[in-house]
Amino acid sequence: MGYISGVRVELVLTAVVGLGALSIDMFLPSLPAIGAAFAAPPATVQLTVTLFLIAFAVAQLVYGPLSDRYGRRGGLIAALALYTAAGVACALAP
């Protein structure tokens, strides 16, 4: 494969694919704290995992055709910008 600004494409794609697993792995340990903070029963808190997986699947259904139509690079950059902005917002949340 080729290079993207001196970085091999395989490394970039592997990192992007790993974001989904990284996101859920960071989220799962916080489930007890979420339940305690919102005084929610465990079953309700566990629904957030289901919602995460549904949102992840729907995002693929939306981004897939959009990337085929408009190109993968722009969609990838937009998605990574959104992911970064959401991560910063989560980090700054009280």
Considering its fold, how many domains does the chain have in total?
1
Tens-digit pLDDT profile for residues 13-57: 888 888 888 888 888 999 999 999 999 999 999 999 999 999 989
3-state helix, strand, coil in the chain (%, to 5): 85, 5, 10
Residue-number span of the structural domain to which 47 is assigned: 3-92
List beta partners, residue 8: 3
**Position 85 confidence tier, pLDDT thresholds 50, 70, 90:** very high
pTM of the model: 0.72
Please report the pLDDT score of residue 5 as a whole number.
60
The candidate with the shortest Cα–Cα distance to 23, out of 51, 62, 44, is: 51
